Amino acid sequence: MSKLEQFVKDIEEGYSFKGDSIIMGAAMLDGAVQTEKIVRLPLKTLNRHGLIAGATGTGKTKTLQILAEQLSANGVPSLVMDIKGDLSGLAQPSAGHPKIDERHEKIGFPFIAGSSPIEFLTLSDEKGARLRATVSEFGPILLSKILDLSDTQSGILAVVFKYCDDQELPLLDLDDLKKALNYVIGEGKEEVASEYGKMSSTSVGTIIRKIVALEQQGAEIFFGERSFDPQDLLRMDENGRGVISILRLTDIQDKPALFSTFMLQLLAEIYSTFPEEGDSDRPKLALFIDEAHLVFNEASDVLLDQIETIVKLIRSKGVGVFFITQNPADIPEAVLGQLGLKIQHALRAFTAKDRKAIKLAAQNYPLSDYYDVQQLLTELGIGEAFMTALNEKGIPTPLAHVYLRAPQSRMDVLTKAEIDDIVEGSAIVRKYNEVIDRESAYEILSAKIEDAQSEEHKEKATKSRRSTRREKSTLEKVVNSTTTRQIGRTVARELTRGLLGVLGVKTTTRRRRRKTTSWF
């Protein structure tokens, strides 16, 4: 059997599945497309997560687009992080192009344009349904990891949450949390200390400074109501296609802490609310995290451990997580080892560091009798990729060089008018963009402090009046006593002058006489 015949046999056996699958393209060998030797991905194992890697401009975003629209067509909704703003085209069918037709002729099936049902979401002021979560929903443990707090600081935060729970003080946004933290070392210090113990003002100050740093990345608009319900990510359209929720993140590329905070909270919320699925014939939800290095670069070791744990466990909920980044090295090894699907586009070898990275990247893929992986990684054309997945038995498929199909949807951004039409027709924008500002910890504690200050002011005023009265009473007594004595002395003096005046003069004269007599 020739090398080509053996290759075709391995591809046909490795990528032939009993259940539903999605078509990615045709296999290639020695630079030639093997028409009708189709490479498919089994829907059954796409909850085992995945990686799409490659240098800028090699087609990663288009591969993401193919996966999202094919999953949608098979009834699987997804959430897509649109960092660069070029995934909105999923909502409109492709206009077609001769090069697209030529590509599909090589693959072995015709190109059919199509679109997918889209929902726009936002973390900022972009158009779409606003994503929010309350501080209480985060809880002290998750929030401590996001803020990278020490054990002591985490303990204080846990006590503050407990105090607010006991006192029925809703922690909705970061202002609520800061107010509570200031209260436990300020006006409420004695009250809290008697029940929960004393808290270090230095540690509390550190926590507040870390909250302020998070706010500076725009987190204050993420915390609050109305909280986003992950069940709204599972919607289908009237034709049974999964809705693709596009989270528009073009204005937070320089805010990795906010992006990381949102991702961790979303994964934790999905894990805690979705029921166990067991083995199913397709994922319940797919999450595509573009520019994944933004999640990991700013994450502490504790936060990375949390992400690793959630990625390991969330697949049991029927959720597949797909990371899109330039190099596999951008993903921590512990997470990378959990990714069953790997799609590798070209890498560039401009420097010695690049060549070392390529060598390491090649080691992430199964050994192949047909490819020099390390060499071919630098020679892959646009719209070509190495691919390996898990088959229905959980065994990695043979490494395949794939000539990818073209996305059925538009490979460009929507116009402003097209985006406005989708937002206006949304079933959830009105629900989540309603402004809710109910009474929470900030208002309750502010009122409590104000009442306490008012009572203190009244008490001081009462004490002041009492003190004034006492002082006045004492003064009156003193004045009365003094006046009486003064009047008595005056009267006595005048009486003396009146009664003894002559006697006084005589006495004085007599004294003078005696004194004069004694001089001689």
pLDDT digits (tens, 9 = 90+) for 360-418: 888 889 999 999 999 999 999 999 999 999 998 889 999 999 999 999 999 999 999 99
* 237 vs 114: CA distance, rounded Å: 15
pLDDT band at 427 (very low <50, low <70, confident <90, very high): confident
- Read off the pLDDT band of 461 (50, 70, 90): low
Q: How many CB atoms lie within 10 A of CB 413?
A: 17
282 near 44, Cβ under 8 Å?
yes
Tokens at residue 485, please?
A: 């004595």
Q: How confident is the model at residue 455 (pLDDT cuts 50, 70, 90)?
A: low
Query: Of 41-55, 119-133, 346-360, 456-470, which has the strongest mean pLDDT?
Result: 41-55
Percent of the chain with pLDDT over 90: 53
Cα angle, residue 490 at apex, residues 487 and 492 outer, rounded to 5°? 105
Residue 439: per-residue pLDDT: 84
> For 94-139, how does the pLDDT look when each residue is reduced to its tens digit (9 = 90+)?
999 999 999 999 999 999 999 999 999 998 878 999 998 899 988 8
In whole angstroms, what is the distance from residue 274 CA to residue 284 CA? Answer: 10
Q: How far apart are CA 27 and CA 438, in angstroms?
A: 58
pLDDT digits (tens, 9 = 90+) for 221-254: 888 888 999 999 999 999 999 999 999 887 666 6
**Strands, sheet with 400-404, edge to edge from the N-terminal-most edge strand:** 32-42, 21-29, 400-404, 384-388, 341-344, 50-53, 319-325, 285-289, 78-82, 244-248, 118-122, 129-130
Average pLDDT of every residue of the chain:
84
Residue 300 has pLDDT above 70, yes or no: no
pTM recorded for the entire structure: 0.82
Sign of the alpha-carbon torsion through 221, 226, 227, 232? negative
| Domain boundaries of the chain, sorted by first residue | 42-91+114-131+229-395+412-433, 135-219
pLDDT digits (tens, 9 = 90+) for 483-511: 444 444 433 443 333 433 333 333 333 33
Asked which of 191-200, 255-264, 416-425 is least confident by mean pLDDT, the reply is 255-264
- CATH superfamily for 42-91+114-131+229-395+412-433 is P-loop containing nucleotide triphosphate hydrolases (3.40.50.300)
Only one residue has tokens 């979705």, namely 274
